[in-house]
Amino acid sequence: MAEDGSGAIIVTGAGGFIGRALVERLAERGAPVRALLRRPTALPAPVETRVLGDLDAATDWPALLAGARAVVHLASRAHARAVDEQRWIDGEAATAAALARAAASAGIRRVVLMSSIKVLGDATADLPLRAHQPPAPADVYGLAKWRMEETMRAACGDRLAIIRPPLVYGPGVKANFRALIRLVASGVPLPFAGIDNRRSLVFLDNLLDLVITALEHPAAAGGVFLLRDDEEVSTPELARRIARALGRPARLFPCPPALLRVAASLLGRRAAADRLLSSLRVDDLATRERLGWRPRVALDDGLAATCRWYRQEQG
């Protein structure tokens, strides 16, 4: 490994929503980057790319990490369902452990794992989630991330920094957040007005700032870091702010949450309804104090950037 800081930063999952943005940010800063991709993906020109398909425990990690100074592990294979769930969890943990062992053997000084707030649970009642709490994953994804944390910590110790973000939004976002933007943009009346909750979110640029801090800051060694944007919002307030960013009216009407849960269950969408109806609050004071990090992009500005990207995508 290069001791002068000139070695490459390895980014697994570099073709994903977070990975592409991270690679671009690192390249803009002049950092040498080696991007590990599942399939060919257009990335900034100075970036070294390796197209490898799915990564696993049998991947030649020592060769991929040769000459590196740091690793950011973002990659995850497609989530297997039903009877394959345990195999998927075991596979994710084994891959993470193999990477961490190779990093330790190579003398790589910092490994950053992108975990998830889901390691601590899916919802909060009175108190926000804090990093020191015992893990309490409520679903397969959260359990897999916890297993990855544990196996990597055992393999590379204080070289590891763990980041547990809540829902991440920003240009390029997919899945539920993009679906919410699409619903608000459509003008369809939404039954959210009666929802009384609080959700922590994090804008993509704020997350990237913390990843880069975790790569560089001495105090990040061995730490577990939560983060969020400065503001927390309810589901109806989020929909209103998205509508404002889109230049559209927010068309919300009240519906009893219990009825929404029943309807969602009948449609096979109970998990999605839980995310809309429940609270998930994050306390990131420990991260701010230990690393001197704070979100530099406000919620409204992040939503504006995300909605501009969405309108451009729609032509």
Specify if 113 maps to a domain: yes
Specify if 315 maps to a domain: no
Report the CATH number that the domain containing residue 75 is assigned in CATH. Answer: 3.40.50.720
Specify if 259 maps to a domain: no
Backbone angles phi, psi at 257, to 5 degrees: -55, -35
Specify if 288 maps to a domain: no
pLDDT tens for each residue of the chain, 315 residues long: 344 456 999 999 999 999 999 999 999 999 999 999 999 998 887 899 999 999 999 999 999 999 999 999 999 876 655 558 889 999 999 999 999 999 999 999 999 999 999 999 999 998 999 999 999 999 999 999 999 999 999 999 999 999 999 999 999 999 889 999 999 999 999 999 999 999 999 999 999 999 999 999 999 999 999 999 999 999 999 999 999 999 999 999 998 888 888 877 777 777 777 888 999 999 999 999 999 999 999 999 999 999 999 999 987
Specify if 195 maps to a domain: no
pTM reported for the whole predicted model: 0.94
Residues annotated catalytic, as ranges: 141
| DSSP secondary structure string for all residues of 218-266 | GGGTT-EEE---S--B-HHHHHHHHHHHHT----B----HHHHHHHHHH
Specify if 126 maps to a domain: yes
Distance CA 100, CA 226 (A): 21
| pLDDT for residue 258 | 85
User: What tokens were used for 85?
Assistant: 């769930």
Distance CA 7, CA 158 (A): 20
| pLDDT for residue 80 | 53
What's the CA dihedral at 191, 194, 198, 204 to 10 degrees? Answer: 20
Q: Do residues 280 and 124 touch, judged by C-beta distance below 8 A?
A: yes
Distance CA 87, CA 166 (A): 25
**Structural domain range at position 94:** 8-164
Q: What total number of domains does the chain contain?
A: 1
User: What tokens were used for 314?
Assistant: 């729609």
Distances (CA, A) of 211 to 19, 41, 120: 11, 22, 20
Which residue type occupies 89? I
Specify if 147 maps to a domain: yes
Specify if 244 maps to a domain: no
| DSSP secondary structure string for all residues of 162-176 | EEE--EEESTT--HH
